[in-house]
Amino acid sequence: MLSSFNTKLLKYAELAVKVGVNIQKNQYLYISCSTDNLKLAQIITKLAYENGAKQVFVDLSDDELVRTRYEKAPKDSFDFFPPWKVQEREWLAENGAAFLSITSHNPDLLKGIEHKRIMAFQKASGKALANYYSWLQADKFSWTVIAAPSKQWAAKVFPHLSEDQQMNALWEAIFDATRINLEDPVAAWLEHDQQLHSKADYLTSKQYKALHYLAPGTDLTIALPSKHVWTGGSSENIQGQTFMANMPTEEIFTAPLKTGVNGYVSSTKPLSYGGNIINNFKLTFKDGRIVDIVAEQGQEILTSLIETDEGAHYLGEIALVAHKSPISQSGLLFYNTLFDENASNHLAIGNAYAFCIEGGKEMSSEELLAKGLNHSLTHVDFMIGSEQMNIEGITKDDQKEPIFRNGNWAI
């Protein structure tokens, strides 16, 4: 059993290095992860060097230390983000580094913490790293996000199992979602990537002027900017190297017209944000702006998120995921956006990706705004899909064409 697990873990690390960041010879690699997953970081580091990396930098965090800070540190310390951390990321990005994040956070890490502390840090970090995130969202460098279990996260997903069984079950769920349990995961990912790009290319060619979403608790029309681009699967950085930003990924996505969202939408899965759970919420839009917020759980956190800046009152992404996708069909609720967004149609509050409009990678923030794309310090996905959701594309001559029927692709 242990040998089998170690074999899968090695395949997972290889996938992250060879397909995720697609490490190149003499390239720097920056890994961020928690102390829970140091072993995986060690394996990835070894493989990165074996595949030509020049130097690997590992930035460790620890949930207990993070919680202690929020409990004990003075309030005015949360407005500060270390400038040396900013300089590190910007220097590495400017020098062609790849960035790999291993997420394993406890969904309830900051439960009970004063929300003002959480949002102060979110604003401070977002503002300090604005350049880095703008480069990331314009594919200036290669980056990927993968996941690995922590005890607290595994307990949240599998509360009915023993502690040892919880960790094993979450690892197996991650291996399933990332195709590690298939005979040749790399080949499986390349085939999956082609399928995602095929769907994206079709939707880009249609150039719908708007999409209409209809489901229980949702009646929403989203206008699309002229010359918008749908994308999914692998991306390409400015050096022409491919990378896979999220593993797993099942989505096709683009950017909405900032001022073109009208109606209301309801969440269908909990959102884990800022160490808290936000659940059963409904947002109402008028001319793109969120004008009403209702949440059964996490209302203050959600309101604070939307108050991050003016751009956080608008959407930056619309993404389509079939209800019969592998993660959805697993029946698991991961309480982790990396997985839950790939089980459900979703939207994102905040910043739009520059590459979601023709020529966007070369545009300034001002030029992107002029084309109708939103700008914000934040970008947070939330899930809205279900087996009852229908989506229609509205053509330039106001014809309606089915895109989704009963939660699945109709094209």
Average pLDDT over residues 244-250: 95
Interval 25-66: pLDDT, tens? 999 999 999 999 999 999 999 999 999 999 999 999 999 999
What pLDDT does 3 receive?
63
Please provide the size of the chain in residues: 411
Extract the runs of DSSP E, i.e. beta strands, from 76-122: 98-103
Interval 290-319: pLDDT, tens? 999 999 999 999 999 999 999 999 999 999
- Chain position carrying tokens 């950085």: 237
What pLDDT does 326 receive?
87
Average pLDDT over residues 390-405: 97
| Residues facing residue 346 across a β-bridge | 319, 383
Contacts of 2 (CB under 8 A, 6+ apart): none
Interval 99-141: pLDDT, tens? 999 999 899 999 999 989 999 999 999 999 999 999 998 899 9
336: its two tokens: 């982790």
Q: Which one, of 371, 354, 142, lies nearest residue 254 by Cα?
A: 354
Interval 76-104: pLDDT, tens? 999 999 999 999 999 999 999 999 999 99
152: its two tokens: 């607290």
Give the span between the Cα atoms of 189 and 199, in whole angstroms.
Answer: 16
Mean of all residue pLDDT scores within the chain: 95
The percent of residues above 70 in pLDDT, for the chain, comes to 99
Q: What is the pTM assigned to this prediction? A: 0.90
What pLDDT does 1 receive?
47
Please say if the pLDDT value at position 199 is more than 80: yes
